[in-house]
Amino acid sequence: MIPVGELLERLTDGDVRALARAISLAEDQGAAAIELLRSAFPHTGRASIIGLTGPPGAGKSSLVDRLVTANRAAGRKVGVIAVDPSSTYSGGAILGDRVRMQEHAGDEGVFIRSMATRGHLGGLSRSTNDAIDLMDAAGYDPVLVETVGVGQDEIDIVRTADVVAVVLVPGMGDDIQAIKAGILEIADLFVINKADRVGADRLQSELDYMLSLVGPGDRPKPPILRTVAVRGDGVAELQQQLEARTAQSADPSNVTRRRERARARFLDLLRDRLIRSAVEGMADGELERIVASIAAHETDPYSAVDRALHGEEDA
Amino acid sequence: MIPVGELLERLTDGDVRALARAISLAEDQGAAAIELLRSAFPHTGRASIIGLTGPPGAGKSSLVDRLVTANRAAGRKVGVIAVDPSSTYSGGAILGDRVRMQEHAGDEGVFIRSMATRGHLGGLSRSTNDAIDLMDAAGYDPVLVETVGVGQDEIDIVRTADVVAVVLVPGMGDDIQAIKAGILEIADLFVINKADRVGADRLQSELDYMLSLVGPGDRPKPPILRTVAVRGDGVAELQQQLEARTAQSADPSNVTRRRERARARFLDLLRDRLIRSAVEGMADGELERIVASIAAHETDPYSAVDRALHGEEDA
């Protein structure tokens, strides 16, 4: 195994294989991983982090591929993290990776990584942030973080990016619930992709209406862009908007965002560490005994937690 | 305020207002809430828990409404919990509740509750399980838990139900990623809703193909049903399948499921309690100082956690 110091040196020198190895190493959270992440941290903070989220089928991957091409044309090294919390396969979403790697295969200026597995004790948000740091330390800028889905996890992962684009598509369904409050609140801009489809105008009106309900708040009203990613339509304008927003790094809203990201990372890590050491500190078979007792309705979960924490017999 | 003992008595007597009050009380996790949940626990374990999940726009709400009607016709009291993790509005998804309450308004045998907010220290899974317990104690059986979205949170919430139905809809998008590995793994049965739409056959073939990739595993291959919820087509068969599966409560897979649910509840509560007491135990302003130091790239998150846990100056 390569010593951590050497791995970090190779990584900051732009060695793609070192970066891939470092991200895999970080996932296991062993002592070497933590040493690596600590020593990489001073090299971070330069990359712009661009979050893209939206429902499955909205064409986020095609859009990300177009943005990668646009950034490459401008001479930038681009990192892509595709987060798929609902997949339990390690190493990436089914089929997804293989298809995506082909397009930019052989281009060392593009680094694509899928994050799919989540341990039973949490951690997808943590491993995504670790991967962002490592790409950042390796000189990738921007780092595009794409989440598949519209759940709370996906929102938590992208909401602290420097800029968040929410990608929607016409004809997602009739019910207004398809456009969710949580998503409206995190979006810096909306993209109506596949905008050549029937229903684009209707989706835009619905969005305008939803945004008017939410009210002004403390963020400027997010613009609504239209794209047809497979043809490249509208991608230049999207790229321009994303650049304009990430360039304002001294902007108070960006400072707030980076602080929110720091807070979320700290609390995530603290939570992981606490539950891990609590479970590891239990006697052999103790967790199974507690679980069986709750499942058998002999102990309620609240009393079980009290006893696990304080060893109380009568909580 | 009503004493906890009296509230519990009213609730187990079937007082709808007491149930509503109890669920609201449980959400704040105060001392009275925990006393209530503890004393309600021995009255639980009778209700069948039916999980329904799927992407926005699949028509889950219409399907749930039909299942409510079918259960009412069979003389059962039905609880419904609509979980929407991506909404940050308390009290329910936008517009959703008002629309849904109308249909079964005035029927005390139907209790509908939306769970939408999640505190910064976690808890949507916890409050959903608490609400299931309280409905169960109040004699509602089955309890239908509907989650909006396809993220990890939604999956975590429904995966330990006694039976899990995944609702899909034709024409969700072209990419195969729309049908996710995580969802394939938790489904006891699939429902293709809006099955009169173009693309139902194609969706069925795609599902068959995906299921063949996943392989047999330890669960029987989930059946694929077709419904048109707005017209009621296929609902009787779905109801029959759900009943057949929840009836097998002595079935080993159901025992496993209940144990998984107990485990998830215990670990969730333990995690919440640990992070809460860690944050509360910090000196005034300490959390903000740590966050600022990470955001300024002066301290890496790993060292910050070490210091918070051990007070180490040089981690």
pLDDT digits (tens, 9 = 90+) for A147-202: 876 666 777 788 889 999 999 888 765 444 445 556 777 889 999 999 999 889 98
Chain A, chain B: beta-carbon pairs less than 8 Å apart = 254
Delimit the CATH 3.40.50.300 region(s) of chain A: 44-254
CA-closest candidate to residue A7, choices A113, A133, A173, A138: A138
Average pLDDT for residues B257-281, to the nearest whole number?
90
The SS3 assignment for B216 reads coil
Residue B123 pLDDT more than 90?
A: no
Question: How far is B132 from B262, CA to CA, in rounded Å?
Answer: 13
CA-closest candidate to residue B154, choices A267, A199, A55, A201: A55
CA-closest candidate to residue A183, choices B80, B66, B151, B111: B151
Residue A271 pLDDT more than 80?
A: yes
pLDDT: which is higher, B315 or A85: A85
Delimit the CATH 3.40.50.300 region(s) of chain B: 45-250
- Of A90-94, A106-110, B155-159, which range is least confident? A90-94
pLDDT: which is higher, B255 or B74: B74
**Under an 8 A CB cutoff, do B262 and A295 touch?**
yes
Percent with pLDDT over 90 in chain A:
50
Residue B227 pLDDT more than 80?
A: yes
Average pLDDT for residues A197-222, to the nearest whole number?
80
Residue B181 distance to chain A (closest CA, Å): 5
Cβ-based neighbour number of residue B93 at 10 Å: 24
The SS3 assignment for A305 reads helix
User: What letters, b where the CB count within 10 A reaches 16 and e where it falls short, cover B22-53?
Assistant: bbebbbebeebbbbbbbbbbebbeebbbbbbb
Residue B140 pLDDT more than 80?
A: yes
Which residues in chain B touch residue A125, judged by CB atoms under 8 angstroms apart? none
Residue A38 distance to chain B (closest CA, Å): 6
CA-closest candidate to residue A263, choices B279, B205, B37, B224: B279
User: Mean pLDDT score of chain A, rounded to an integer?
Assistant: 83
Residue that is written with structure tokens 């390690």 in the block: A90
Which residues in chain B touch residue A41, judged by CB atoms under 8 angstroms apart? 297, 300-301
Question: How far is A259 from A309, CA to CA, in rounded Å?
Answer: 32
Residue A280 corresponds to which tokens in the numbers above?
């590891």
Q: How confident is the model at residue A98 (pLDDT cuts 50, 70, 90)?
A: very low
Average pLDDT for residues B122-134, to the nearest whole number?
85
Output helix, strand, coil percentages for chain A, rounded to the nearest 5: 55, 10, 35
Residue B288 pLDDT more than 80?
A: yes
Which residues in chain A touch residue B170, judged by CB atoms under 8 angstroms apart? none
Q: Which residue of B has its CA nearest to A173?
A: B57
Residue A2 pLDDT more than 90?
A: no
pLDDT at A313: 46
Question: How far is B118 from B197, CA to CA, in rounded Å?
Answer: 35
Say yes or no: domain A44-254 is CATH 3.40.50.300. Answer: yes
Percent with pLDDT over 70 in chain B:
81
Percent with pLDDT over 90 in chain B:
50
pLDDT at B256: 84
**Under an 8 A CB cutoff, do B300 and A38 touch?**
yes
Please tell me whether the interface predicted TM-score (ipTM) of this complex is above 0.95: no
Query: What is the edge-to-edge ordering of all strands in the sheet holding A110-115?
Result: A110-115, A78-83, A143-147, A49-53, A163-168, A189-192, A224-226
Q: Give the pTM.
A: 0.78
CA-closest candidate to residue A88, choices B182, B148, B132: B182
Query: What is the edge-to-edge ordering of all strands in the sheet holding B224-226?
Result: B110-115, B78-83, B143-147, B49-53, B163-168, B189-192, B224-226
The SS3 assignment for A101 reads helix
**Under an 8 A CB cutoff, do B175 and A61 touch?**
yes
Residue B239 distance to chain A (closest CA, Å): 24
- Of A70-74, A208-212, A302-306, B259-263, which range is least confident? A208-212
pLDDT at B214: 65
Residue A57 pLDDT more than 60?
A: yes
Question: Residue A269: CB partners within 8 Å, gap ≥ 6?
Answer: A126, B301, B302, B304, B305
**Under an 8 A CB cutoff, do A301 and B266 touch?**
yes
Query: Which of A156, A305, A314 is most worth mutating to test chain B (most B CB atoms within 10 A of its CB)?
Result: A305
- Of B40-54, B95-109, B180-194, which range is least confident? B95-109
**Residues A150 and A189 sit within 8 Å (Cβ to Cβ):** no
Residue A186 distance to chain B (closest CA, Å): 10
The SS3 assignment for A147 reads strand
Residue B99 pLDDT more than 70?
A: no
User: Mean pLDDT score of chain B, rounded to an integer?
Assistant: 83
Residue B116 pLDDT more than 90?
A: no
Output the CA angle A182-B50-A305, nearest 5 degrees: 75
**Under an 8 A CB cutoff, do A154 and B151 touch?**
yes
Cβ-based neighbour number of residue A282 at 10 Å: 13
Residue B84 pLDDT more than 60?
A: yes
Residue B112 pLDDT more than 50?
A: yes
Output helix, strand, coil percentages for chain B, rounded to the nearest 5: 50, 10, 35
Residue B216 pLDDT more than 70?
A: no
Residue A263 pLDDT more than 60?
A: yes
Average pLDDT for residues B89-94, to the nearest whole number?
38
- Of B4-13, B29-38, B252-261, which range is least confident? B252-261
Q: Which residue of B has its CA nearest to A174?
A: B57
Q: Where are the beta strands (DSSP E) in A40-117?
A: 49-53, 78-83, 110-115
**Under an 8 A CB cutoff, do A182 and B88 touch?**
yes
Interstrand relation of B143-147 and B163-168 (parallel, antiparallel or unpaired): unpaired
Average pLDDT for residues B163-190, to the nearest whole number?
73
> Can you give the length of chain A in residues?
315
**Under an 8 A CB cutoff, do A124 and B172 touch?**
no
Q: How confident is the model at residue B23 (pLDDT cuts 50, 70, 90)?
A: very high
- Of A15-29, A162-176, A224-238, which range is least confident? A162-176
Cβ-based neighbour number of residue A289 at 10 Å: 14
Chosen CATH of B45-250 out of 3.50.50.60, 3.40.50.300, 2.60.120.10, 3.90.1150.10? 3.40.50.300
Which residues in chain B touch residue A261, judged by CB atoms under 8 angstroms apart? 295
Cβ burial of B88 (10 Å; 0-12, 13-18, 19+) is: middle
Residue A297 pLDDT more than 70?
A: yes
pLDDT at B139: 96
